[in-house]
Amino acid sequence: MIIPVRTKDSTYEVHLGENILQSFCERNTEEFDKADQIVVITDENVWGLHQHYFDKNFAFDYKIHLVPNGESCKTFDSYFDVQTFLLQENCSRNSILLALGGGAVGDLTGFVASTFMRGIPFIQIPTTILAHDSAVGGKTAINHPNGKNMIGAFYQPKEVLYDFHFLQTLPKSEVRSGLAEVIKHALISDVKWSNEFLQLESIDAIQKEELLIWLEKGIRVKANIVELDEKEKSYRKYLNFGHTYGHAIEASIGYGKITHGEAVMIGMIPALMLSEIHGEVKSGYAHDIFQLANKLEYNLQHVLNCTFEQLATFMLKDKKTTNGELHFALLKHIGDPFIQVVSMDEVKKCDDQLRKWIKEEI
């Protein structure tokens, strides 16, 4: 299956399917033969689990550069190390980078590719469910001690190869994390699809075939929005649904101590409460999603470990906050997003309500 992504300056394809690494090589033989170096950037976990599959199916000579696992690779140090490696290996503008990993490896590699010799081609090979989102759309970044994803660029990959083979080794916590972004894609695009999730009883109950259909749908939602607004001037802000409060939770708990998706799942609950007030989402939907989050064992207790004051401080620092005004992506109806300026008092009320629900569940 192929999903095209057309932005103003480039068009590329997302290829999805199981065991498609070999056909990827066949399709790109000419490009890879022309390249003076092919460098695979991946993390130690992914490489430990998938080196064998990669070597069996990847038909070209390559250099490998390992970075620390997960979020810890999105640092200035890792960025510097990759650049040093590329220089030592005499890479040039005719070299190609392959980002083999989750969103963290993808974000780092994309940013390196955007700046090495003022920009060299890179290909995303996502290995997590969450990366169905992060690998598409060209947002690349590393973290600064003062804020996550603060240093980065919009830089599109040449192709996204989503080989579902890699997903087999994901631990349940990462399935849960990635699923939150899938649910987000459903909530901002399709009421029928959103309601399907409400029937879900547990993470283990997800059928593989079902998941693959969801991932395809999620990528289509993301691709459509990126085509309309690559640089986040308008429509792309809808993808931040659940992220204003979610990012604040993530920052308060500490990056790496809570998965991105878990924070987003939490953040979608107040966003739905606000959508019941500012939109026409039927009363009770926020509570339905709260219960879904409980059933799927998202750790909502994280909220109780942060004070609202902490969350408020982070929300005010959010890249989307301008002049102290909180710009929330909300839903008019399920599937129909819009942007609303929301006061901190209103967010506090939702936060109070959420804490009450969580305490009632304990």
User: Which residues sit in the known binding site for NAD(+)?
Assistant: 103-107, 127-128, 139, 148, 166-169
Is 181 one of the catalytic residues? yes
Q: Determine if 49 is a binding residue for ligand NAD (CB under 6 A).
A: yes
CB neighbourhood size of 128 (10 A): 27
**131-139, 187-195, 213-221, 290-298 -> range binding ligand NAD (CB under 6 A):** 131-139
CA separation for the pair 330, 195 (Å, rounded): 17
Binding of ligand NAD by 70 (CB under 6 A): yes
Figure out which of the listed residues 28, 40, 107, 311 binds ligand NAD, where binding follows CB under 6 A: 107
The answer to the question of residue 240 lying near ligand NAD (CB under 6 A) is no
Q: Give catalytic status of residue 236 as yes or no.
A: yes
Contact between 114 and ligand NAD per CB under 6 A: no
Q: How far apart are the C-alpha atoms of 231 and 225, rounded to whole Å?
A: 10
Whether 6 is a known active-site residue: answer: no
Contact 243, 264 (CB under 8 A): yes
Cα–Cα dist 241/253, whole Å: 20
232 catalytic? Reply is: yes
- The residue to which tokens 């999903």 are assigned: 3
Closest distance to ligand NAD from the beta carbon of 149 (Å): 6
Choose the stretch contacting ligand NAD; rule: CB under 6 A; options: 1-9, 123-131, 312-320, 332-340.
123-131
* Residue 108 makes contact with ligand NAD by CB under 6 A: no
CB of 63 to ligand NAD, least distance (A): 20
Which residues in the 147-176 window bind ligand NAD by CB under 6 A? 149, 166-167, 169-170, 174
Q: How far is the CB of 294 from ligand NAD (least distance, A)?
A: 21
Contact 176/32 with Cβ under 8 angstroms? no
Indicate whether 242 belongs to the interface with ligand NAD (CB under 6 A). Answer: no
Q: How many residues bind ligand NAD (CB under 6 A)?
A: 30
**Active-site residue, selected from the candidate residues 52, 118, 192, 233:** 118
- Is 209 catalytic? The answer is no
Q: Which is nearer to ligand NAD, 169 or 353 (CB)?
A: 169
Of 7, 45, 95, 244, the one binding ligand NAD (CB under 6 A) is: 45
For position 177 contacting ligand NAD by CB under 6 A, the verdict is yes
By the 8 A CB rule, do 134 and 180 touch?
A: no
Structure tokens at 117: 């010799």
Neighbours of 289 (CB within 10 A): 23
Active-site residue (options: 237, 243, 250, 276): 243
Contact 74, 134 (CB under 8 A): no
Asked if residues 217 and 129 have their Cβ atoms less than 8 Å apart, the reply is: no
By CB under 6 A, tell whether 130 contacts ligand NAD. Answer: yes
Q: Say if residue 272 is exposed, middle or buried (CB neighbours under 10 Å; 0-12, 13-18, 19+).
A: buried
Which of 260, 262, 276, 302 is flagged as catalytic?
A: 260
Query: Which residues fall within 8 angstroms of residue 74, CB to CB, at 6 or more apart?
Result: 104, 107, 108, 141, 142, 143, 148, 149
Among left, alpha and beta (phi > 0; psi -120 to 50; other), residue 167 is: alpha
- Contact predicate 189/195, CB 8 Å: no
Nearer to ligand NAD, 106 or 270 (CB): 106
Nearest to 186 by CA among 230, 164, 217, 213: 217
Scan residues 7-26 and list those touching ligand NAD (CB under 6 A): none
What is the binding site for ligand NAD (CB under 6 A)?
A: 43, 45-46, 49, 69-71, 74, 101-105, 107, 127-128, 130-131, 133-134, 137, 139, 149, 166-167, 169-170, 174, 177, 260
Q: Which residues are catalytic?
A: 118, 139, 181, 222, 232, 236, 240, 243, 247, 260
